[in-house]
Chains A and B, each alone.
Chain A
Amino acid sequence: SQTIHQWPATLVQPVGSPLSLECTVEGTSNPNLYWYRQAAGRGLQLLFYSVGIGQISSEVPQNLSASRPQDRQFILSSKKLLLSDSGFYLCAWSVVRPGKAKNIQYFGAGTRLSVL
């Protein structure tokens, strides 16, 4: 079965510090991968998605970047965090193959980031 791992679960960082959040998926190959952010009490905002290694699409221009160095690894980064980067970050994966249910995204447990 497929599983998705996100770490760390909680992170407190000072303004101006770098960020690296990691997400890995097991049990599937060539998934689509996604990074979302959820501000406190708000909905989900898609930040980046990737359809393959090295392929990153940005949905919202901002202080963050994403990379996909391996098929099942997705990394969210920042060189200098801002206060507004605080939030709950969720990674998700989906697969589209004949015979498989399309478009369903499965989410990780999330990372709560506080920038102080």
Chain B
Amino acid sequence: AQKVTQAQTEISVVEKEDVTLDCVYETRDTTYYLFWYKQPPSGELVFLIRRNSFDEQNEISGRYSWNFQKSTSSFNFTITASQVVDSAVYFCALSEEQYKAAGNKLTFGGGTRVLVKP
């Protein structure tokens, strides 16, 4: 069975500090997809990134960067020079299924609450 663990329940930083969110996953499949979502106080989940298991290149998007390491089953997320607007709950998720009929279900981690103080 698949599992996603986000060991950090809450992280508090001061603005402009970097913050790294850990995500460790378990799966038996060789083909899978990893995701990060942001949930601001308004509640809606916002998609940030999708990574497939065959692409281990790290990715950078503005102040966000992701480090995918298959050897340690981790998909960590770093916010550089954090801002107050980054305050949110961040969820890591895993999907083993590629086919519509199987539902393309996501398994979410428990989330990490990030609080950025001015």
| Interface residues of B, dominant DSSP | loop
Per-position binary interface string of chain A over residues 71-110, scored 1 when its CB falls under 8 Å from any chain B CB and 0 otherwise:
0000000000000000010101010100001111111111
Give A97 to B103 CA distance when docked, in angstroms: 13
Contact pick for B33, options A30, A51, A102, CB 8 Å: A102
A44 at the interface (CB under 8 A from B): yes
Contact A44 B33 (CB under 8 A): no
A35 at the interface (CB under 8 A from B): no
Give A105 to B99 CA distance when docked, in angstroms: 14
Give A49 to B101 CA distance when docked, in angstroms: 11
Residue of B nearest to A43 (CB): B110
Residue of A nearest to B94 (CB): A103
Contact A46 B91 (CB under 8 A): no
Contact B43 A88 (CB under 8 A): yes
Smallest distance from the beta carbon of A53 to chain B beta carbons, Å?
A: 13
Give A101 to B42 CA distance when docked, in angstroms: 26
Give A112 to B44 CA distance when docked, in angstroms: 11
**Known contacts A43-B110, A43-B111, A96-B99: does B50 contact A101 (CB below 8 Å)?**
yes
A17 at the interface (CB under 8 A from B): no
Chain A residues whose C-beta falls within 8 Å of the C-beta of B63 in the assembled complex:
none
Smallest distance from the beta carbon of A48 to chain B beta carbons, Å?
A: 10
Kindly identify, within residues 6 to 49 of chain A, every residue whose CB is under 8 Å from any CB belonging to chain B.
Answer: 30, 32, 34, 42-44, 46, 49
Contact A112 B43 (CB under 8 A): yes
What are 19 A-B interface contacts by the 8 Å CB criterion? A30-B100, A32-B103, A43-B109, A43-B111, A44-B45, A44-B91, A51-B103, A90-B44, A96-B98, A96-B100, A103-B35, A103-B50, A103-B97, A103-B104, A103-B106, A107-B37, A109-B42, A109-B44, A110-B44
**Contacts A32-B103, A49-B103, A103-B95 known; 16 new A-B pairs at CB < 8 A:** A32-B100, A42-B110, A46-B105, A51-B101, A57-B103, A92-B45, A96-B99, A103-B33, A103-B35, A103-B98, A103-B106, A104-B35, A105-B106, A107-B46, A107-B47, A109-B43
Which B positions have Cβ atoms within 8 angstroms of A?
Answer: 33, 35, 37, 42-47, 50, 91, 95, 97-101, 103-106, 108-111
